[in-house]
Amino acid sequence: AQSVAQPEDQVNVAEGNPLTVKCTYSVSGNPYLFWYVQYPNRGLQFLLKYITGDNLVKGSYGFEAEFNKSQTSFHLKKPSALVSDSALYFCAVKAGSYQLTFGKGTKLSVIP
């Protein structure tokens, strides 16, 4: 069975500093990996995905993620955090079917 771990319930970062939200996964076969963001009272919005190719994936709003096969990780990063980046972030994995397995989410707070 596939699984996703987001080891931090909350990440606090000062505005302008780099941010990292961690994700590790477990799956049989080649993984398809996703990051989604959820703002209050909204559904999840797609940020970026890794299917194959370059290990560094660029997505929406200046976010990027690095796929590391040996460490089974897919950490979300941004060079300079904005207050508007404060939200709930979900990592998800899919292997061979439509079904996504989500992590429990990480609340990102960017402090002005």
Report the interface residues with another protein, using CB under 8 A: 9, 32, 34, 36, 41-46, 49, 51, 90, 98-100, 102-105
Closer to another protein by CB, 62 or 96: give it: 96
Q: Least Å distance between CB 32 and another protein?
A: 6
What is the closest distance, in whole angstroms, from the C-beta atom of residue 42 to another protein in the complex?
6
Residue type (1 letter), 4: V
Say how far residue 59 (Cα) sits from the centre of its chain: 11
Cβ nearer to another protein, comparing 69 with 104: 104
Query: Minimum CB separation from another protein for residue 46, in Å?
Result: 4
Q: Which is nearer to another protein, 43 or 112 (CB)?
A: 43
